[in-house]
Amino acid sequence: MTEPRKAVYFFCIETIEHVAGNVFKAASASLPLDETDIQIDGNKVLRYTDHKENSYYYVPTNKVVSQDYSHYHYPNEGTFLRL
């Protein structure tokens, strides 16, 4: 048996990005997403867990991650975000 996997999806929910916010809303409406204790930009990170116990994290951001990488990167910890 394989270990459960994890995936992380980032969605800029501000109006500067017209597609990602709508995709995030559609996913939120169609999937049973659970709130986590994790917050990014003051927004709760949501998680979907499938029947194989795989976890899919939906991260709403206030900025496009690739346009402000330094805002989301933590070089002292060697990590990208804190999930």
Q: In terms of C-beta density within 10 A (0-12 exposed, 13-18 middle, 19 or more buried), how is residue 47 classed?
A: buried
Task: Give the Cα separation of 59 and 38 in Å (integer).
Answer: 9
Return the structure tokens found at 41: 């930009």
| pLDDT of res. 75 | 59
| pLDDT of res. 65 | 86
Task: Give the Cα separation of 19 and 32 in Å (integer).
Answer: 21
| pLDDT of res. 5 | 93
The rounded average pLDDT for each run of 10 residues, N- to C-terminus, in the chain (83 residues) is: 89 86 92 93 94 94 86 63 53
